[in-house]
Amino acid sequence: MTTFRERTNDPTANPDGRLTLAEVLEIFAAGRFPLKFTAYDGSSTGPEDAAIGIDLLTPRGTTYLATAPGDLGLARAYIAGDLELRGVHPGDPYDLLNSLTDKLEYKRPPARVLAQVVRSIGVEHLKIIPPPPQEHLPRWRRIAEGLRHSKTRDAEAIHHHYDVSNTFYGWVLGPSMTYTCACYPHQDATLEEAQENKYRLVFEKLRLKPGDRLLDVGCGWGGMVRYAARHGVHAVGVTLSKEQAEWATAAIERDGLGELAEVRHGDYRDVRESQFDAVSSIGLTEHIGVANYPAYFRFLKSKLRVGGLLLNHCITRHNNHSTASAGGFIDRYVFPDGELTGSGRIITEAQDVGLEVVHEENLRHHYAMTLRDWNRNLVEHWDEAVAEVGLPTAKVWGLYMAASRVGFEQNAIQLHQVLAVKVDERGRDGGLPLRPWWNA
């Protein structure tokens, strides 16, 4: 195979100065591509014997890649069917994505070479074209159409991601219908065992006992609410997703928990009750917006009695200075308006409203394992999933979960549980034990 560098040193090669698509890729990949790449112009690069690879099928795919460099352009071409991933299942392209992030070195070429690239691919491929219909509005359009993290806009963002189909979620998440990081008691634990163990861990950290009152904000399909109710706790959950609320309400009735458990369809900010013994927030903070953290933690504190405990469970950055906004693919296809920050910022904001942080831990390896199992479920139910939501949406999910697994494994993102208590003006915490009171 002849590389771009070898051709540029060969005076008989490339007489018209135009580059093949494979050569263009080599330029941006700092010389060589770690996977096998083929393009519709007949060119290719990468190891000939590679088991996995990428096939660029159409000129439209080139336009997507050229007009949105990075993950957004790749996602557009892949979701639209202009780019195929070879050697991996679309429900779990982890091996390909892991190889790309582990071995690919991006290099910005000098202006002269960029000009040659433009001449080679054609100016027509630099004109923006409509993205696949599965893509959400760009951030500037969302800003124009509603205040960020207003109740209306938050509801729309939640609807975009969570109201896909309860049937689809059941195939991906399994019987627990739990769309948050599990906690694996051992390496060989099943997903269901790990999700049950996560709820057990949260329950014990919050020191809940029969007769207590729990508020679970962003409750999803009510997994924590139902776990607490099965153990004698009066639990109220709230979610912005109508489909989640309907499913959770039916599950509560099916399990005979109606006297103890309730899931409401609405905004957590509309909860009027207070004096709860505990508040759990499992997977909601990612949707709040970093600028709203003070109001968020202040509100959760107001729902607690003195000595009541808050458990905040959320995805974080691996540091406290990275940008909060998500990348193009995640923002447009997965979590519109989602923001992440470091665990230090989470702890700071909780402390600054007067909560006392008593414990925190990082469960990032557990989330990588959770995503692995969700991808396996999607592969197992691929045909049904495609029939339910369509091929493009199913591909979005396979791509996003596999990419997220890589992110957790490589420590680009983490999952932190922060436990805090509401103290009175003299620092009294209701008599908490002197050491952690839960099992790991």
Whether pLDDT at 2 is above 60: no
Cα distances from 214 to residues 55, 244, 276, 403, 419, in angstroms, run 51, 19, 6, 34, 15
Q: How far is CA 21 from the centre of its chain?
A: 32
Question: What DSSP element (H or E) covers 238?
Answer: strand 234-239
Domain containing residue 275: CATH number? 3.40.50.150
Q: Is residue 435 part of a domain?
A: no
302 and 195 share one domain:
yes
Q: Is residue 144 part of a domain?
A: no
Q: What are phi and psi of 414, to 5 degrees?
A: -135, 175
Helix-helix angle 242-254:223-230, to 10 degrees: 20
54 and 181 share one domain:
no
Strands 304-317 and 276-282: parallel
> Could you read off the pLDDT of 123-156 as tens digits, one per residue?
999 999 999 998 887 754 445 555 555 555 454 5
**Span 363-391, mean pLDDT?**
97
Q: Alpha-carbon distance 319 to 411, whole Å?
A: 10
Strands 53-56 and 83-86: antiparallel
71 and 169 share one domain:
no
Question: In the numeric block, which tokens belong to residue 103?
Answer: 């071995």
Question: What DSSP element (H or E) covers 353?
Answer: none
Strands 44-45 and 36-39: antiparallel
97 and 239 share one domain:
no
Q: How does residue 359 score in pLDDT terms, banded at 50, 70 and 90?
A: very high
Cα distances from 426 to residues 68, 111, 172, 302, 306, in angstroms, run 55, 64, 48, 17, 11
**Span 36-47, mean pLDDT?**
95
Site of tokens 């996003």: 400
Listed range (193-202, 285-294, 318-327) with the worst mean pLDDT: 318-327
Q: Is residue 147 part of a domain?
A: no
pLDDT at res. 428: 96
Question: In the numeric block, which tokens belong to residue 251?
Answer: 């599950």
Q: Is residue 163 part of a domain?
A: yes
Q: How far is CA 369 from the centre of its chain?
A: 14
Q: Alpha-carbon distance 324 to 314, whole Å?
A: 14
pLDDT at res. 290: 94
Q: Is residue 220 part of a domain?
A: yes
pLDDT at res. 323: 86
Dihedral sign computed on CA atoms, order 342, 346, 349, 351: negative
Question: In the numeric block, which tokens belong to residue 73?
Answer: 């352009």
Q: Alpha-carbon distance 8 to 11, whole Å?
A: 7
Q: Which of 219, 357, 240 is nearest to 283 (CA)?
A: 219
How much of the chain exceeds pLDDT 70, in percent?
Answer: 89
CB–CB of 61/129 below 8 Å? no
63 and 212 share one domain:
no
21 and 101 share one domain:
yes
Listed range (333-347, 355-369, 381-395) with the worst mean pLDDT: 333-347
Listed range (41-45, 153-157, 349-353) with the worst mean pLDDT: 153-157
108 and 223 share one domain:
no
298 and 262 share one domain:
yes
Strand order in the sheet with 213-217: 261-265, 234-239, 213-217, 276-282, 304-317, 413-422, 355-362
Q: Is residue 300 part of a domain?
A: yes
CB–CB of 219/238 below 8 Å? yes
Helix-helix angle 191-205:364-380, to 10 degrees: 140
- Is 392 buried (19+), middle (13-18) or exposed (0-12) by CB count in 10 A? middle
3-state secondary structure of 138: coil
> Could you read off the pLDDT of 163-205 as tens digits, one per residue?
579 999 999 999 999 999 999 999 999 999 999 999 999 999 9
| Domain extent at residue 163 | 152-422
Half-sphere exposure (Cβ direction) of 131: Cα atoms closer than 13 Å: 21
Q: Is residue 417 part of a domain?
A: yes
Q: Alpha-carbon distance 264 to 271, whole Å?
A: 9
Q: Alpha-carbon distance 336 to 73, whole Å?
A: 17
- Measured from the Cβ of residue 276, the count of other Cβ atoms closer than 10 Å reads 24
How many residues belong to the chain? Answer: 440
118 and 163 share one domain:
no
Q: Alpha-carbon distance 111 to 409, whole Å?
A: 36
121 and 156 share one domain:
no
Report the domain count for the chain: 2
Q: Is residue 436 part of a domain?
A: no
Burial 337-373 (b: 16+ CB within 10 A, else e): bbbbbbbebbbebbeebebebeebeebbebbbbbbbb
Q: How does residue 21 score in pLDDT terms, banded at 50, 70 and 90?
A: very high
Cα distances from 373 to residues 92, 220, 286, 333, 365, in angstroms, run 10, 19, 22, 21, 13
- Measured from the Cβ of residue 171, the count of other Cβ atoms closer than 10 Å reads 19
pLDDT at res. 246: 96
179 and 85 share one domain:
no
* Mean pLDDT estimate for the chain: 90
- Pick the more confident residue, 1 or 40: 40
> Could you read off the pLDDT of 75-96 as tens digits, one per residue?
999 999 999 999 999 999 999 9
59 and 170 share one domain:
no
3-state secondary structure of 67: helix
